[in-house]
Chains A and B, each alone.
Chain A
């Protein structure tokens, strides 16, 4: 199989605090992980591509200093929302590729619901 987990599944925080979301590939090594953001009733928007051992590549319009991504190992990537504000409230989903082939399927985590008060 190809299982991707996320932790936490749901988090509520106060405005101005930072929140860390973990994405783990449980039964495979992921050379590449992706972070998406999904607003209610909308599609997924790619935020950044995370490669193990290197800096993440951010999509246009995504603030790299606000959304810190660390891909420390082949099974773990973290997204830290720094100084969170209510407009950062969203559903954050990660995905992972098993390998570098362009045909590789992305396996998605169950998502993390962030609510900033």
Chain B
């Protein structure tokens, strides 16, 4: 069985500050990892994903994440927060042979303050 843990249901940063959203996973097989963003009353938009290869993955809107197998982590970062980054962020995991089924974390609400 696989699972995803997102530490911190709410994160607040100042505009221009570093954004760090934490995600740890549990999987008995090599995982495929995703970060999605959800704006109010909307569906999910893919920020980035890790499947194989380079462990540092760059996504849209200046976000990036690093897959660290030894730490079973896939934390999401952005060097400088913008007001438009305020949203709900979900980490998700799938694995080969799993029928592309995604298991989501509980989400982190990012607030960006002036």
When A43-B106, A43-B107 are in contact, do A111 and B41 touch as well, CB less than 8 Å?
yes
- How many positions in chain B have a CB within 8 Å of any CB in the partner chain? 26
Contact of A105 among B49, B95, B98 (CB under 8 A): B49
When A42-B106, A108-B36 are in contact, do A32 and B100 touch as well, CB less than 8 Å?
yes
Q: How far is the CA of A32 from the CA of B100 in the complex (A)?
A: 9
Contact of A102 among B41, B44, B96, B104 (CB under 8 A): B96
Cβ of B20 within 8 Å of any chain A Cβ, yes or no, is: no
Task: With CB as the reference atom, state the residue of chain B lying closest to A2.
Answer: B46
Which residues does chain B contribute within 8 Å of A49, judged by CB atoms?
99, 101
Q: How far is the CA of A46 from the CA of B99 in the complex (A)?
A: 13
Q: Are A106 and B41 in contact (CB under 8 A)?
A: no
Residue-wise interface mask of B (7-42) relative to A, using a CB-CB cutoff of 8 A (1 in contact, 0 not): 000000000000000000000000010101000011
Q: What is the distance, in angstroms, from A83's C-beta to the closest C-beta of chain B?
A: 26
Residue-wise interface mask of B (79-114) relative to A, using a CB-CB cutoff of 8 A (1 in contact, 0 not): 000000000001000111111111111110000000
Q: Are A110 and B43 in contact (CB under 8 A)?
A: yes
Pick from B94, B96, B97, B101 the residue with the most CB of A within 10 Å: B101
Q: How far is the CA of A79 from the CA of B102 in the complex (A)?
A: 19
Task: With CB as the reference atom, state the residue of chain B lying closest to A112.
Answer: B43
Q: Are B102 and A93 in contact (CB under 8 A)?
A: no
Q: How far is the CA of A109 from the CA of B41 in the complex (A)?
A: 11
In addition to A102-B94, A111-B41, 11 A-B residue pairs with Cβ atoms within 8 Å of each other are A34-B102, A43-B106, A102-B97, A104-B100, A105-B46, A106-B100, A106-B102, A108-B44, A108-B45, A111-B42, A111-B43
A sample of 13 cross-chain residue pairs with beta-carbon separation below 8 angstroms, ordered by A number, consists of A6-B43, A34-B101, A42-B107, A43-B90, A44-B90, A45-B104, A46-B102, A102-B32, A102-B95, A105-B49, A108-B36, A108-B44, A111-B43
